[in-house]
Amino acid sequence: MHIYEERYLNLKRLRPFLMLPMIGLLLLGLSCEFDMSSFKTDASILKKIIEKGELTVITRNNAHCYYSYRDQEMGFEHDLAKAFAAYLGVELNIRIAEKWEGMIPSLIDGTGDLIAASMTITPKRNRDVLFSNGYMDIQQHLIVHRGNHSIRTIEDLPGHTIHIRRGTSYQERLETLAARIPSLTIVLHEDVPTEELIRQVAEKEIDITVADSNIALLNRRYYPQAVMAGPVADKENLGWAVNPNAHKLLEKINQFFKQIQENGGYEELRNQYYAEVERFDYLDLKIYHRRLATRLPKYQPILMAASREFNFDWRLIAAQMYQESHFRRYARSHAGAYGLMQLTKRTAESFGVTDITDPEQNIYAGVKHLRNLFGYVDIENESDRLSIALAAYNVGQGHLRDAQKLAINLRMDPQKWSSLEKTLPLLRYRQYYNNATYGYCRGTEPVTYVKQIKIYYDILKRQAIA
């Protein structure tokens, strides 16, 4: 199993509910109207779920809701649904809807028990289904090309064409706006993912689309040329939908949401997917995308071979290499580290490197060094384990041990990277480093180092699943 391909959410505050796989992004809702008499009048939906031992969740196969990467199930909605299934004491069964408009009919005919597809709660949909309490705030925004300075707010829309997917809350909002915006042309696309329309904006194939804020923020690292302009609507909520007669099931969902929001489990789960979306440097990501096309191919065969030998995903190592050297063979740091993987002379010698700038020797030694560090970290959760190993690659094992001891003193979990993200930066201050075995540490650097690698790695993985 490749390290970091299998990412687990090991949340003590969610236990005994889950130990869940992670990565990812969210999608939006649909709007349909149905004859309410067609709904089954079954007051024992929850009871049947418990008796069957299985919760069937209707969702969509995309990067926001549910997808599989190297045989590992991922997606924010998937992980949240799995936690809810564990809360009920049943297994999770994912039912993929081929089209958005097929989800509510599937819910009505009993094919699924609930819809968890990042669906926006709207008055129109509330006439068709019951919604849970909202679990995430979002806001619709115009999406335009970075070079498009003529569109900033909805007041700039007259005379323009805007592309959206049919059946979404975007359509509802724009059709309302069209009544007061002259010459606004709305082009409706059949079941085209919002990410695809964002890509088309970035490539100047279309001028304008609309996306929820969370989707726009997540996708800008993949399409940095596409930017958020002004809001189209007020803030809204995402929710889970159930059959109008499933009051007991809805009650359980809301109890579950309340519990994980109060104990911090929801926040930690959300951070696994969205904590880094605010971190965005347009110029850095623009350069990164360019380097992936121009510099990475030269070293990719070596990367893949070394990663395979030491049991890592080569994309992870590529992300680390970019963070270290920007794929520059002769890179040299102020601290005396050299080459693609920024090896110190001492480290290079310990791995038998004779030419520190030779790509093959440098890469193999760097990957082996990371593998050794990973082996030294005795932690069950592989995501935390890898983050700590990467931080040790950057700042050394000694400072990581100091950060772990400090975490214990501050009553944090020393085996969780989320704890060390807080304690490492404290080692800059005398009151903390005076009591540390390895002394002063520029602790913000390894934290930033790990964050950046995760961003770069996510972009490379996205290219594989897009």
Q: For 345-389, what is each residue's pLDDT tens digit?
A: 989 999 999 999 999 999 999 999 999 999 999 999 999 999 999
Query: Please, are residues 274 and 218 in contact by the beta-carbon 8 Å criterion?
Result: yes
For the stretch 262-318, pLDDT in tens is: 988 898 888 777 765 555 666 678 888 889 999 999 999 999 999 999 999 999 999
CATH 3.40.190.10 domain position(s) in the chain: 8-137+236-274, 140-231
In the annotation, is 175 catalytic? Answer: no
Q: Which of 10-14, 335-339, 342-346 has the highest mean pLDDT?
A: 342-346
User: Which of the listed CATH numbers 3.40.50.1370, 1.10.260.40, 1.10.10.10, 3.40.190.10 matches domain 8-137+236-274?
Assistant: 3.40.190.10
Ranges 16-30, 366-380, 410-424: which has the least confidence: 16-30
Residue 458, sorted as left (phi over 0), alpha (psi -120 to 50) or beta, turns out to be alpha
Which residues have a Cβ under 8 Å from the Cβ of 164 and sit 6 or more positions away?
A: 170, 171, 174, 186, 187, 188, 189, 197, 209, 210
In this predicted structure, what is the pLDDT of residue 163? 97
Fold of 140-231: D-Maltodextrin-Binding Protein; domain 2 (3.40.190)
CATH number listed for the domain at residues 282-465:
1.10.530.10
Q: Does residue 126 carry a pLDDT above 70? A: yes
* pTM check: above 0.95: no
Q: How far apart are CA 112 and CA 257, in angstroms?
A: 20
Q: Which of 324, 349, 380, 445 is catalytic?
A: 324
Q: Does residue 84 carry a pLDDT above 70? A: yes
